[in-house]
Amino acid sequence: MKYVEEIMEKVVKSNPGQKEFHQAVQEVLNSISVVIEKHEEEYRELKLLERLVEPERSHTFRVTWVDSNGKIQVNRGYRVQFSSAIGPYKGGLRFHPSVNQSIINFLGFEQIFKNALTGQSIGAGKGGSDFDPRGKNDIDIMNFCQSFIIELEKYIGPNEDVPAGDIGVGSKEIGYMYGMYKKLTHRYEGALTGKSLFCGGSLVRTEATGYGLAYIVEEMLRAKGEAISGKKVVVSGSGNVATYAIEKVTQLGGVVLTASDSSGYIYDANGIKVDILKEIKEVRRGRIKEYCDLVPTAVFVPDKKAWEVPCDIALPCAVQNELQIDDAKQLISNGCMTVAEGANMPTTPEAVSYLQDNGVMFMPGKAANAGGVAVSSLEMSQNGIRKNRSFDDVDNELKLIMKSIYTEVSQAAKEYGHEGNYVMGANIAGFRKVAKAMREQGNV
């Protein structure tokens, strides 16, 4: 049996039922098998893949907290510290009722290759909880965040593990966690990123994932002699990533027709007005359909996905496996030419293959959404030397990072005879860096 097949079997056996984790590992193994074949004997000897798919450490913990009605609540907390081959564990925290070990493992595994692609010295981790922040008041959110970090504090630190946000965790939640971290450790240090500017955060971190996504799409199009300007763009989600992707795509001259949440999507033929979107989502913390109250020409389409809207570019920015085979078929029949993942693994494997087979330029999340963690790393370095950088300075570095990710990904694909296959390129380029570091550090 081939080495990668043996590894896949082991992963399935030792992590039963973890379908999202299996999916993420399978995709990477499929891509890197061409590299493995070249070094098979050495990698087998080093047990390199066995080590790569096994988290260095994994924490689960009870989070008991008291809600605003004085009732005791219990949730489960997670932090998987997947790989420290190239730096301290780094990756977000997700608060969503769907969070389980499979989701955390898949996200932590993806983070290994994403973080390597940024060129920054950051290893990989991920965490979160099945806590549902939706509909909770500020007291509930603060009480939960404080109880969560009281446990997580034992495992994190600026040179050890540096969590940030993800679904359900933004600068507000990070602020509550940071306050309690400081109280527990009596240290003001960069143990969390995505902090607000008043707590040592970095300019551009809020915008970074969405802006970075737009920058890499611009690179993909530039390679074909095209640009975002004038293109019709369909976006899913209406959270942090979606909002700032919409903002930058619009600034670059694209027309964004949709935004969505789990109840449906809105369609605005004149282009989504990002100031109104921010008012609804960031100020009122409302639902996407409220956009139509403020923009009467827009329509809300309940229980449907935005992929049915004809477009040139599709940017899934919500959640894993939200773009499925039927959606891919619809996108193709409507003439879509470019798909880039703002979310983590939003496109199912069948949909990815279908898009690629039909000539769509497809950029996977571990490259396309790496701008967020890249700027998190810039936040860590600013905290380390206690010096803040300007918006333009960080934004320019983000652009350079996304450009260099594009170049590395496309060159790696070409080198292995799969020009234009950015899934292979991203996995190979990320894997090579981590594999080198693992080899050099010996059997740890």
Residues that bind ligand NDP (CB under 6 A): 165-168, 209, 237-242, 261-262, 317-319, 322, 342-344, 369, 372
- Would you count residue 195 as binding ligand 2IT (CB under 6 A)? no
Site string for ligand 2IT, 376-415 (x = CB under 6 A): x---------------------------------------
Neighbours of 404 (CB within 10 A): 14
Q: From ligand NDP, ligand 2IT, none, which one binds at residue 367 (CB under 5 to 8 Å depending on kind)?
A: none
Tell me whether residue 55 or residue 239 sits nearer to ligand NDP (CB atom): 239
Q: What is the DSSP string of 146-199?
A: HHHHHHHGGG-BTTTEEEE-BTTB-HHHHHHHHHHHHHHH-----SSSS--GGG
Count of helix runs (H) and strand runs (E) in the chain = 17, 13
Q: How far is the CB of 367 from ligand 2IT (least distance, A)?
A: 11
Q: Which of residues 73-102 bind ligand 2IT (CB under 6 A)?
A: 90-92
Which pair of tokens denotes residue 280? Answer: 């609804």
Residue (of 360, 396, 424, 417) closest to 204 by Cα position: 396
> Which residues participate in catalysis according to the annotation?
126
How many Cα atoms occupy the beta-carbon half-sphere of 425 within 13 Å? Answer: 25
Q: From ligand 2IT, ligand NDP, none, which one binds at residue 261 (CB under 5 to 8 Å depending on kind)?
A: ligand NDP
From 20, 166, 322, 395, residue interacting with ligand 2IT (rule: CB under 6 A): 166
Q: Which of residues 363-382 bind ligand 2IT (CB under 6 A)?
A: 372-373, 376
Q: From ligand 2IT, ligand NDP, none, which one binds at residue 168 (CB under 5 to 8 Å depending on kind)?
A: ligand NDP
Which burial class, exposed, middle or buried, applies to 391 when counting CB atoms under 10 A from its CB (0-12, 13-18, 19+)? exposed
- Would you count residue 202 as binding ligand 2IT (CB under 6 A)? no
Q: From ligand NDP, ligand 2IT, none, which one binds at residue 90 (CB under 5 to 8 Å depending on kind)?
A: ligand 2IT
Residue numbers at the binding site for ligand 2IT (CB under 6 A): 90-92, 114, 164, 166, 193, 344, 372-373, 376
